[in-house]
Amino acid sequence: MYSNSTTQKTEANRIKHKKNRLKMLKKPSFEIVVIIFVLLFSIPIYLIIINTFKTHDRILKAPLSLPDFSVGFQNIVEAFQRMDIVKSYLVTFSISAIALVSMIVLSSLAAYAIVRMSGKIFKAAYWVFLSCILMPVQAAFIPLIFILKHFDLYNNIFGISLVYIAILSPFCIFMYSGFIRGIPIELEEAAIMEGCSTLRLFFQIIFPLLKPITATLIIMQFIYIWNDLLLPLVILNGSDYPTVSIGLYKFFGSKGNVDLNLLFGGIALVLLPVVTVFLFLQKYLIKGLASGSIKG
């Protein structure tokens, strides 16, 4: 996770270059235009934030008005109690952790083999994984549950994680293989000459170069799992394993009536961990990606 001095230097160089290159754009007016655009873009998010601090009635009658803050954090507190949030966090985090860790390790390994090994089987594997990316799974739930029950994985955190791995890793493999292809093979050849095992070579040389892409994938797939409704609904028993998304959707009541204050309070609770993860991983998204430049 720490870039060595070479990449730091490249990074410094890059910024210097860039500063020269973009001098003409470094006007504050340009930045202000960008900020205005982004703010317009985030009006729905603004609506969510202001409605977190209103009563049900106020949200219903005047969803666009500013809150008077009379409810304070009451909505969030109430949603906290109703959603069984501690257990939900734990369950959803466990699923995400198992699925993400295995997904990242297994699909990067597979992508490496696909790109670097010669043999028909690897080429075929690439196309098979690729065709799995867009598979619609809804109609396959019932056969899927039969399979899970066969392995005694129904209503089990490990079972649902395996399903997530199966659904999400084809895309990871695709993305990883694209980026591994851009890594010059010379780096590995030296290691092979020294008699380094392929597994060690992968984890010591290749995987660190994939940091930014890994961060991107973790963010994307974490959000997918965190917000997913259908899989936990059909695979897990909600009283044994409540998940965050199902807890939130419970506020949508019959005939489209919604406990609005609870819903908006709940959104805050759902968003908090995801935004934290995003902020934490954000620096890895860009930094160190200078490593990609070795391609040229």
Partner 1 sequence: MKFMNGNRKRYLTGIFFIAPISIIIFTFLLLPILQTMYYSFTDWRGVGEYSFIGLKNYINIFNDSSFKYSLLLTIYVGLSIAFLTNVIGLTFALVLDQALKTKNILRTILYLPNVIPIVVAAFVWRYILDYNNGLANKFFSTFSSESIHIPWIDSPDYVVPTIIMISTWQMIGPVMIVYLAALQGVPLDLIEAAKIDGASKVKRFLNVTLPMIAPGITVNILIGLANGIRIFDLPYALTGGGPAGASETLAIKIYRYAFQSTELSYGMAASFIMTLVALVITLLFVSLSRRYERNVM
Partner 2 sequence: MKKSVIWLGLLLFVLGSLVACGKDNDSASSSSGDGGSSSEPVTISAFIAEDLFKSADIMQGFIDRFEMDNPDIKVKLETVPHGEIYERLRVMVSTDEMPDIYQINVGHSISYLVEDAGYLYDLNELNSASNFSNAIQEGTQLNGKHAAFSMGVGVLGFHYNADMLKEAGFEEPPKTWDELLDLGEKLKADNKSLLAYSGKWTTGLINVFHWTFGNYALKNQEFKEAYLSNSIDWSKPEYREILMDGFKKFNELNEYVYTGSFTSEYGDAQQAFVNEESAMVMGGSWDIGQIRDLNPSFEHSFMNLPYDAETDNSYIYTAEDGLAINSKSENLEAAKTFLDWLFSKEIYEDITKTLANTSAMEGVGELDPVYVDIPQWLETDRVISFANTGPIEEAVITKLGETAQKVTFDGDIEKAADEFINEYNSFKE
Q: Which is nearer to partner 2, 106 or 145 (CB)?
A: 145
Residue 216 found at the interface with partner 2 (CB under 8 A) = no
Number of residues that bind partner 2 (CB under 8 A): 38
Per CB under 8 A, the segment of 16-24, 28-36, 38-46, 155-163 that binds partner 2 is: 155-163
Shortest Cβ 147–partner 1 spacing (Å): 6
Q: How far apart are CA 68 and CA 53, in angstroms?
A: 8
Q: Which is nearer to partner 1, 85 or 148 (CB)?
A: 148
**H-state helical runs in the chain:** 5-21, 28-41, 43-51, 56-61, 74-82, 85-116, 120-132, 141-150, 157-181, 186-193, 198-201, 207-209, 211-227, 230-235, 244-249, 260-286
If contact means CB under 5 to 8 A according to the sort of partner, which of partner 1, partner 2, none does residue 184 touch?
A: none
Q: How far apart are CA 243 and CA 114, in angstroms?
A: 35
Interface with partner 2 (CB under 8 A), residue from 31, 68, 189, 240: 240
If contact means CB under 5 to 8 A according to the sort of partner, which of partner 2, partner 1, none does residue 275 touch?
A: partner 1
Q: Which of residues 246-265 bind partner 2 (CB under 8 A)?
A: 246, 249-250, 252-258
Cα–Cα separations (whole angstroms), residue 123 to 85, 126, 129, 133, 285: 45, 5, 10, 16, 29
If contact means CB under 5 to 8 A according to the sort of partner, which of partner 2, partner 1, none does residue 276 touch?
A: none
Q: Which is nearer to partner 1, 121 or 190 (CB)?
A: 121
Q: How far apart are CA 271 and CA 248, in angstroms?
A: 11
Look at residues 245, 212, 229, 203 and name the one whose alpha carbon lies nearest to residue 88: 245
Q: C-alpha angle with apex 221: 145 to 122, nearest 5 degrees?
A: 80
Give residues in contact with partner 2 (CB under 8 A): 1-2, 60, 82, 90, 93-94, 97-98, 101, 141-142, 145-146, 149, 154-158, 229, 233-234, 237-241, 246, 249-250, 252-258
